């Protein structure tokens, strides 16, 4: 398995006795930008949290560079090179941007802290101009970029991002997605959960659709129409596809499970 590759095999997980993921199988190559979509309750956020060691794994594997990390907790997974940007505001609103970045660097060696903050400021120049601004006084889009930057400060190999557009204006959403696209172009692997399907399909190189805790479609955004996407969300299969998963008159990468 190539370095930086994440391979999920028949993953079953949830919260206590509640099962949410019912056998997810998915491969993510180094450098990919994968959008994870699906209806409410499909298990999208749960999958990210499971990859970050925040749920109860019932079965299956999460192979990271060929090694199963499914039983590791969050701190150990962060050390493996996987960072998580959770849904909603998760900065320290009464601290400045620079102080937030210092807090995010708590696991790093002191000698590296300034170099890593400079690295983040180079990636996100807008944050350099706001370095002394109280985080809570910034716009929603700027705060979301700060939260991405706090995760990127760890120089992860994989960045897990959960619903970054929640509560943002269309303009702020565009700014955040443009920045995600830019850091992906620089080599950052991203697994994105997003309900704004139009935006997600514009930036991602690959789309994966979950429903009822399993993958029901995996392919390039160009290979599926908006109507087909809606049909999958509603019924779990495309129009013309039989209950056994065979499709009539459809081709391409869509329909893989």
Q: What is the pLDDT of residue 111?
A: 57
pLDDT for residue 257 = 32
- Do 159 and 85 touch, CB atoms closer than 8 A? yes
Provide φ and ψ at 80, rounded to 5°.
-80, -15
Q: Tell me, what DSSP letter sits at residue 176?
A: H
C-alpha dihedral over 78, 84, 90, 94, to 10 degrees? 50
pTM: 0.88
- For residue 131, with 0-12 CB atoms within 10 Å meaning exposed, 13-18 middle and 19 or more buried, which class applies? middle
- Mind listing the pLDDT tens digit of every residue in the chain (257 residues)? 556 789 999 999 999 999 999 999 999 999 999 999 999 999 999 999 999 999 999 999 999 988 999 999 999 999 999 999 998 777 899 999 999 998 888 766 565 677 788 889 998 999 999 999 999 999 999 999 999 999 999 889 999 999 999 889 999 999 999 999 999 999 999 999 998 999 999 999 999 999 999 999 999 999 998 889 989 988 887 655 555 554 443 333 343 33
Which residue do the tokens 């991002």 mark? 161
CA distances from 31 to 6, 182, 188, 229 (A): 11, 12, 6, 25
What does the alpha-carbon distance between residue 206 and residue 214 come to, in Å, rounded to a whole number?
Answer: 17
Q: How many CB atoms lie within 10 A of CB 85?
A: 23
CATH fold label, 6-88+163-235: Rossmann fold (3.40.50)
- DSSP label at 38? -
Q: In what order do the strands lie in the sheet with 206-211?
A: 82-85, 158-162, 189-193, 33-37, 206-211, 214-219
CA-CA distance, 70 to 67, in Å (whole number)? 9
Provide CB contacts within 8 A for 198, sequence distance 6+: 226
Q: What angle do CA 88, 14, 83 make, to 5 degrees?
A: 45
* Residue 23: per-residue pLDDT: 97
pLDDT, position 11: 98
Strand order in the sheet with 67-68: 18-28, 6-15, 56-64, 67-68
The closest alpha carbon to 88, from 163, 36, 172, belongs to: 163
Tell me which residue of 178, 165, 88 sits closest to 124, measured CA to CA.
178
Residue 157 and residue 51 in contact, taking contact as beta carbons nearer than 8 Å:
no
Which token pair is 205? 């190189």
Specify whether the CB–CB gap between 24 and 6 falls below 8 A.
Answer: no
């Amino acid at each position: 398995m190539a370095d930086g590759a994440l391979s999920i095999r028949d993953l079953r997980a949830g919260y206590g006795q509640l099962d949410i993921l019912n056998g997810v199988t998915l491969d993510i190559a180094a450098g990919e930008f994968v959008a994870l979509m699906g209806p409410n309750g499909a298990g999208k956020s749960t999958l990210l949290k499971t990859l970050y060691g925040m749920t109860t794994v019932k079965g299956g594997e999460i192979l990271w560079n060929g090694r199963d990390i499914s039983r590791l907790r969050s701190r150990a997974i962060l050390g493996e090179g996987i960072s998580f940007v959770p849904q909603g505001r998760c900065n320290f609103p009464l601290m400045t941007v620079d102080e937030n970045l210092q807090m995010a660097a708590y696991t790093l060696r002191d000698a590296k802290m300034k170099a890593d903050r400079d690295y983040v400021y180079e990636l996100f120049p807008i944050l350099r101009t706001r370095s002394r601004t109280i985080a809570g006084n910034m716009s929603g889009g700027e705060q979301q970029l700060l939260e991405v930057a706090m995760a990127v400060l760890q120089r992860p190999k994989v960045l897990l991002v959960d619903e970054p557009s929640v509560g943002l204006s269309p303009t702020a959403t565009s700014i955040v997605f443009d920045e995600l696209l830019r850091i992906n172009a620089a080599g950052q692997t991203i697994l994105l959960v997003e309900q704004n399907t139009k935006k997600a399909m514009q930036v991602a190189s690959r789309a994966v659709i979950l429903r009822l805790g399993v993958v029901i479609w995996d392919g390039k955004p160009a290979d599926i129409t908006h109507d087909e996407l809606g049909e999958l969300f509603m019924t779990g299969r495309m129009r013309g596809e039989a209950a056994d998963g065979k499709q009539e008159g459809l081709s391409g990468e869509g329909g893989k499970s």
